């Protein structure tokens, strides 16, 4: 393709908004298949997260040593006490390098609420 050629536009792509289950129009009901007389069905895991929409995120991080992690516990606990209306939906915990004066490994905790 030369520089003066245009890229064709694909009109078959839908531009309708996606329904991500956050309310509004009712989603279609999906029927479950009939249970077979085979082995006992596995009970699905109990949901521990809220069904409400995620409205915010807060990220905490600290260096990987005992004192810093204890301090991080205190900071997260204080943040939760100061924000009693928060309902935690999801948490992610990873380790990675954070660049400051020098690059060193950190624990990074992300709380979705």
Q: What does the alpha-carbon distance between residue 87 and residue 85 come to, in Å, rounded to a whole number?
A: 6
pLDDT of amino acid 84: 93
Q: What is the pLDDT of residue 29?
A: 53
Kindly write down the DSSP assignment for every residue of 27-51, as one continuous string: PPP-PPPPPPSSSPPPPPPPP-S-S
Q: Is the pLDDT of residue 111 over 70?
A: yes
Asked if the model's pLDDT at residue 3 lies above 90, the reply is no
Say what the pLDDT of residue 54 is.
84
- pLDDT tens for 54-101 read 889 999 999 998 899 999 999 999 999 999 999 999 999 999 998 888
**pLDDT exceeding 90 applies to what percent of the chain?**
43
Tell me which residue of 49, 47, 53 sits closest to 23, measured CA to CA. 53
- pLDDT of 42 > 70? The answer is no
């Amino acid at each position: 393709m030369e520089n003066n050629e245009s890229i064709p536009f694909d009109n078959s792509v839908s531009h309708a908004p996606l329904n991500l289950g956050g309310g509004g129009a009712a989603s279609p009901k999906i029927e479950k298949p009939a249970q077979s007389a085979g082995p006992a069905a596995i009970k699905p895991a109990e949901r521990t997260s809220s069904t409400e929409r995620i409205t915010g995120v807060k990220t905490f991080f600290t260096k990987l040593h005992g004192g810093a992690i204890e301090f991080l516990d205190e900071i997260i606990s204080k943040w939760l006490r100061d924000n009693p209306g928060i309902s935690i939906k999801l948490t992610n915990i990873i380790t990675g390098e954070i660049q400051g004066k020098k690059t060193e490994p950190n624990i990074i905790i992300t709380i979705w609420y």
